[in-house]
């Protein structure tokens, strides 16, 4: 009866190590351009690490089943008459509940506090979405329809609005996203960490992330991160009261 515990346990260990190694050494995440991106990526990796033993267990049972538990024919013998096993079920419930509680705490609530908290901000930039373009309004009142320029190392609060249907303000490089809802103002914070532009990374763009009609796919706008001084110069140069 116990003869499968050992090989399945071994396979489980091997798969767990393999998956952990994959998560550690194969980077699937794009470049981070904001402090918020670090929070999201950490949460992502933590969940991957926690998922490793769970996936490994299913894979181990499947593998060993295909190798060792094969049998043929409809008239073949029945397997053991085990209806349940209280110890296994209880252990399983305790472990999966503990895992769920763990995930709720971290990255759950810890990530939530960091990503949706209401920190103070250095600047407020208004974003207004319409079918199918973005309008950026800088603190000095200057507006732009063709790019979003943001200062590096400054926490910017984006006040997001829509004039027609729902859109979603998303800068993949910053990892933050909030829907643009007609009639209310939603907000999201992002602190860019390095200077760069869409030439450096395709993810330095605003991409509409809520289906908004025919032009949805094309509803994108380049994002450029510059130094604080350059940024102040830029917004003065395009107008507004300075």
Partner 1 sequence: MKYLVRAIVFGLVGYVSGVWLTLAVRGGDPTDEVAVVFGFILALLGWLAGIGGLEAFGRQWIGKTPKLSEDHTWRRYFQFSGDHKVIGIQYGVTLFAVLLIGGLVSMIMRIELAAPGMSIVDLEEFNKLMSMHGILMIAVAVAGIIGAFGNYLIPIQIGAADMAFPRLNALSFWLVPPVAIGLLSAPLLGSFDAGWTAYAPLSVTNDSGQILFNLALIAFGLSSILGGLNILVTVITMRAPGMTWGRLPIFTWAGFATALLTFSVTQFFAGALTLITMDRVAGTNFFGPEVGTGILYQHIFWFYSHPAVYIMVLPGLGVVLELVTTFSRKPLFAYKTTVGALLTIVGLSVVVWGHHMFTSGMADFLHGPFMILTEAISIPTGVIFLSIMGTLWQGKLWFRAPLIMTFGWLFNFMIGGITGIFLADVATDIYLHDTYFVVAHFHYTIVGGAIFALLAAFFYWFPKVTGRMYNDKLGSIFAVWVTVAFNFTFMPLFWVGINGMNRRVGDYPEAYAAANKFASISAFILGASFLLFVGNMLWSAVKGPKAGANPWNARTLEWQVSSPPSHHNFLSQPVIVGHPYDYGGDGSPHVIFPDAEEPPDEVSLEEASV
- Residues lying near Cu ion in the complex (CB under 5 A): 167, 208, 212, 219
Does residue 69 contact residue 3 with C-beta atoms inside 8 Å?
no
Does residue 15 contact residue 56 with C-beta atoms inside 8 Å?
yes
Q: What's the min distance (Å) between Cβ of 174 and partner 1?
A: 9
Q: What's the min distance (Å) between Cβ of 105 and partner 1?
A: 10
User: Contact between 13 and partner 1 (CB under 8 A)?
Assistant: no
Does residue 158 contact residue 178 with C-beta atoms inside 8 Å?
yes
Nearer to Cu ion, 16 or 207 (CB): 207
Query: Which of partner 1, Cu ion, none binds 155 (CB below 5-8 Å, type-dependent)?
Result: none
Is the alpha carbon torsion for 158, 162, 166, 171 positive or negative?
negative
User: Contact between 178 and partner 1 (CB under 8 A)?
Assistant: yes
Query: Which of partner 1, Cu ion, none binds 164 (CB below 5-8 Å, type-dependent)?
Result: partner 1
User: Contact between 53 and partner 1 (CB under 8 A)?
Assistant: no
CA distances from 235 to 72, 149, 176 (A): 75, 9, 23
Q: What's the min distance (Å) between Cβ of 44 and partner 1?
A: 5
Which one of residues 109, 140, 141, 237 is an interface residue with partner 1 (CB under 8 A)?
109
Interface stretch with partner 1, choices 133-141, 149-157, 182-190, 223-231 (CB under 8 A): 182-190
* Encoded tokens for 43: 């949460």
Kindly identify the residues of this chain, within the stretch 188-217, that bind partner 1 according to CB under 8 A.
202-203, 207-217
User: Contact between 73 and partner 1 (CB under 8 A)?
Assistant: yes
* Encoded tokens for 17: 């190590």
Which one of residues 13, 18, 22, 93 is an interface residue with partner 1 (CB under 8 A)?
93
Which residue is associated with the tokens 């450096």? 200
- Among residues 25, 210, 232, which one has the least CA distance to residue 122? 232
Q: What's the min distance (Å) between Cβ of 215 and Cu ion?
A: 7
Q: What angle do CA 134, 40, 234 make, to 5 degrees?
A: 40
Interface stretch with partner 1, choices 140-148, 151-159, 162-170, 223-231 (CB under 8 A): 162-170
Alpha-carbon distance 94 to 134, whole Å?
49
Q: What's the min distance (Å) between Cβ of 213 and partner 1?
A: 6
Q: Is 115 helix (H, G, I), strand (E, B) or coil?
A: helix
* Encoded tokens for 114: 């960091």
């Amino acid at each position: 009866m116990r003869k499968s515990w050992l090989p399945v346990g071994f396979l489980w260990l091997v798969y767990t190590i393999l998956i952990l190694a994959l998560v550690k050494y194969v980077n699937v995440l794009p470049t981070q351009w904001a402090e918020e991106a670090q929070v999201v990526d950490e949460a992502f990796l933590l969940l991957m690490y926690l998922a490793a033993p769970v996936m490994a267990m299913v894979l181990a049972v499947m593998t060993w089943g295909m190798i060792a538990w094969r049998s043929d024919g409809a008239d073949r013998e029945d397997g053991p008459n085990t209806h349940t096993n209280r110890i296994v079920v209880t252990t399983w419930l305790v472990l999966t509940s503990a895992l769920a509680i763990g995930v709720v705490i971290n990255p759950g609530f810890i990530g939530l506090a960091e990503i949706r908290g209401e920190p103070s901000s250095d600047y407020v930039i208004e974003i207004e979405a319409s079918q199918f373009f973005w309008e950026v309004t800088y603190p000095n009142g200057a507006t732009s329809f063709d790019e979003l320029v943001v200062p590096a190392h400054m926490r910017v609060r984006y006040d997001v609005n829509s004039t027609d249907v729902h859109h979603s303000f998303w800068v993949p490089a910053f990892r933050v996203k909030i829907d643009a809802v007609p009639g209310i103002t939603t907000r999201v914070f992002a602190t860019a960490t390095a200077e760069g532009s869409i030439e450096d990374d395709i993810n330095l763009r605003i991409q509409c992330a809520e289906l908004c009609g025919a032009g949805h796919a094309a509803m994108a706008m380049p994002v450029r991160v510059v130094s604080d001084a350059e940024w102040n110069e830029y917004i003065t140069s395009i107008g507004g009261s300075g």
